[in-house]
Amino acid sequence: MKIEWNKKYTTISAYSIIVVFISMLFYIIISEFGLFIAGLNRYIKVFAPFTIGFAIAYLANFIMDFIERKAISPLLSKRKGNKVKRIVSLLLTYLLLIAGLFLFIYLVLPQLINSVTGAVYMVINNYDSLSKSIIDFISKLNISQSYIDDIVLRWNNFVDNIINFISNSLPLIGTYAGRLFSSIWNIILGIIISVYMLIDKERFSMLLKKLNFSIFSKERATRNIELTKRADNIFGRFLVGKIIDSIIIAILTYIVLIITKMPYSLLIAFIIGVTNIIPFFGPFIGAIPSFFIILFVSPIKALWFLVIILIIQQLDGNLIGPKILGDSLGISAFWILFSLLISGEIFGFIGLIIGVPLFVFIYSIVKDNVEKRLLKKGLPVETNKYKEY
């Protein structure tokens, strides 16, 4: 006897089974969330070399592409072939990166370590004298004794928190350094993987496009490629621009601090440069600990430091940053703040770095879909037009 399948009910049954399966899977994940995260971390660790390799290749590609277009192609004739040009530009790129890393480890890192340890001892040793100076200053203001006692108590608690923070930071630095060295094998594998990715990047790109067109419809696959290029443009311009901008700010800060004879100039310039990568909050995150480091040496210099940083950040925000980044964000300060708060809460420090370009990318997709729907309805896409509605 031949069974006649009803296509409508077969489809409904198939969807029902999928929904039930997904619901069961979701319940298992929620009920055993700790085990799920532990298992997920194991798989993430397996793919760690590939993640590291992709990150290195993505950032190094900007340098390699620049060298290949501007330096290698004009020097080598077309008969040499693209393969030779790629190998030469790849070698020069990694030689530059290795030279930069060597200079940092050999020249900068020892001074940073000495500055950090020196700052810790300086804070502890100068605590009593600075506290006495502040108490003497407050006493001259003719404030009632109860207010003075309250201010002194709050100051002591504040300084104790700073000392505890700095003291606890040293073991944390050691822990992260230990993790870095323990994952050195993954870093080496990541570098090797990045070399293979860069040397044959066009081939990998074509394979991914081939896979994309095999899975999705032509229209959907074309849209996926367009979104990938858009994401690459947004993330690439932002990350590379921010890194260059932060290096310039770190060097400029170091020169100004040396001229003004500020203590721990290299350490403070390094802090300012690293935190400058973070949009909006970066200048404040870097300036606050730097201010207190200088404060324990000289309160007057600490106040001058705030003035110097304010001038440098104004210079960066109005001249250097726009020249390097251009209009790579294209969103208001409110959305920058919103994206930083959300991504920072979810992804931590990495979220503060990638949160803004990630939001810009999502924002651009939502904007496309909203404008497409408005055009279908015959409505204007300009925001200011809706003041009349």
**pTM, entire model:** 0.69
Q: How many domains does the chain have?
A: 1
Kindly state the average pLDDT of the residues 132-148. 64
- Over residues 35-61, the pLDDT tens digits come to 666 666 677 677 888 888 888 898 889
Residue 284 lies in a domain: no
Q: Are 286 and 255 in contact (CB under 8 A)?
A: no
Query: Residue 186 has which token pair?
Result: 């993954």
> What gap in Å lies between CA 345 and CA 352, rounded to an integer?
9
The larger pLDDT score, comparing residue 172 to residue 340, is at: 340
What integer pLDDT is reported at residue 185 of this predicted model? 79
Query: Residue 223 pLDDT > 80, yes or no?
Result: yes
> What gap in Å lies between CA 212 and CA 225, rounded to an integer?
8
What integer pLDDT is reported at residue 1 of this predicted model? 44
- Over residues 228-268, the pLDDT tens digits come to 998 888 888 888 888 888 889 989 999 999 999 888 888 88
Residue 21 lies in a domain: yes
> What gap in Å lies between CA 250 and CA 369, rounded to an integer?
40
Q: Are 246 and 276 in contact (CB under 8 A)?
A: yes
SS3 377: coil
Query: Residue 82 pLDDT > 60, yes or no?
Result: yes
Residue 72 lies in a domain: no
Residue 33 lies in a domain: yes
Residue range of the domain that includes 38: 8-46
Range from 94-108, 198-212, 251-265 carrying the lowest mean pLDDT? 94-108
The burial class, CB within 10 Å (0-12 / 13-18 / 19+), for 389 is exposed
Query: Residue 304 pLDDT > 80, yes or no?
Result: yes
- Over residues 171-193, the pLDDT tens digits come to 555 555 556 665 777 888 888 99
Query: Residue 264 has which token pair?
Result: 């721990």
> What gap in Å lies between CA 268 and CA 285, rounded to an integer?
12
> What gap in Å lies between CA 383 and CA 247, rounded to an integer?
37
What integer pLDDT is reported at residue 142 of this predicted model? 64
Q: How far is CA 12 from the centre of its chain?
A: 45
Q: Are 226 and 364 in contact (CB under 8 A)?
A: no
Residue 38 lies in a domain: yes
Query: Residue 223 has which token pair?
Result: 């849209």
Looking up tokens 């994401």 gives: 231
Kindly state the average pLDDT of the residues 100-112. 78
Q: Number of H helices and number of E strands within the chain?
A: 16, 0
